[in-house]
Amino acid sequence: MSRISVELIPRTEEGLTSDLDLVKSKIPNIDIINIPDLLRFEIRSWQGAALAQNYYPAVMPHIRAIDINLDEPLPMRADLRRNGITEVLVIEGDPPQDMTYKFYPTVTTDVITKFRQEMPEVKVYAGIDQYRGSMRQEMYRIRRKLQAGAVGFFTQPFFDMRYLEIYADMLEGQNVYWGVTPVLSERSQSYWELKNNVIFPKGFAPTLEWSIEFSKKVKDFAINRGDNLYLMPIKSNLEEYLAGVLG
């Protein structure tokens, strides 16, 4: 059965509560809330996920692999168990800009295995970055994550249905959340092109209208396959974008 996940940024407790109020009251059909772990904000992902549980029983904090010291217990273990959080998304994580913040040469497969050993009750999802290298390289990473114990995957945002369909063929039978996000300016488009190696399709426009229509196509594609949808309404009008896609 398909699930629809929305990512909400935990900038502040008040801001996250406001977003949760809006989504819960005005946007139907949301099944799970994803909370990223962003070091520039004080709220860690598992703390934001605990707050989101007041609105949605299914929440998924993101866990940065480079924050995990393999020689010590998982630092969020007590919080996850106390709040009954049973799903996490493990990502690699970018090194912090503040170099006083300690990080480790830990990779996602190590953390997936560590969760399996220390918290076997938790379902661990992993990321797919379809832009970082060749498809062959990414499929190898996917197989390694499955061997480590990942139960499913969240992709980076897609902007081209043809490219998504190629990955869908390769991932047939896997539990996948297909990612989409609005791109609303030429500056944002350049960011995706230069930092993430995205090639936008002919006819793309950095507008809310284009983003909504494309996201609806991905939603229909995912539902028809029994897959899942992952909405990342970054820097957009939360209600307008989500209502346009799901309304």
Helix (H, G, I), strand (E, B), or coil: what is residue 106? coil
User: Residue 38 corresponds to which amino acid?
Assistant: L
Pick 4-246's CATH classification: 3.10.129.10, 3.40.50.300, 3.40.1170.20, 3.20.20.220. Answer: 3.20.20.220
Model pLDDT for residues 20-72, shown as the tens digit of each residue:
999 999 999 999 999 999 999 999 999 999 999 999 999 999 999 999 999 99
| Summary mean pLDDT of the chain | 96
Read off the DSSP letter of residue 135: H
From 89, 80, 91, select the one nearest 53 (Cα to Cα). Answer: 80
Per residue in 185-243, pLDDT (tens digit) is: 999 999 999 999 999 999 999 999 999 999 999 999 999 999 999 999 988 899 999 99
**Closest by Cα among 68, 85, 76, 75 to 34:** 85
Instruction: Taking each helix axis as running N to C, give the angle between helix 13-26 and helix 45-52, from 0 to 180 degrees, rounded to the nearest 10.
Output: 40
* pLDDT computed for residue 101 by the predictor: 82
- Cα(20)–Cα(12) distance, integer angstroms: 12
Cα–Cα–Cα angle for 199, 204, 209, nearest 5°?
135
For residue 1, the model assigns a pLDDT of 76
pLDDT band at 160 (very low <50, low <70, confident <90, very high): very high
Say what the pTM is. 0.96
d(CA 77, CA 73): 8
How is residue 119 written in tokens?
Answer: 């918290």
Residue 210 CA to its chain's centroid (Å): 21
- 162's tokens: 């043809």
CA distance 30 to 28: 6
Kindly list the domain boundaries of the chain, sorted by start residue.
4-246
**pLDDT given for residue 247 in this prediction:** 86
The string of pLDDT tens digits covering residues 85-114 is 999 999 999 887 777 788 999 999 999 999
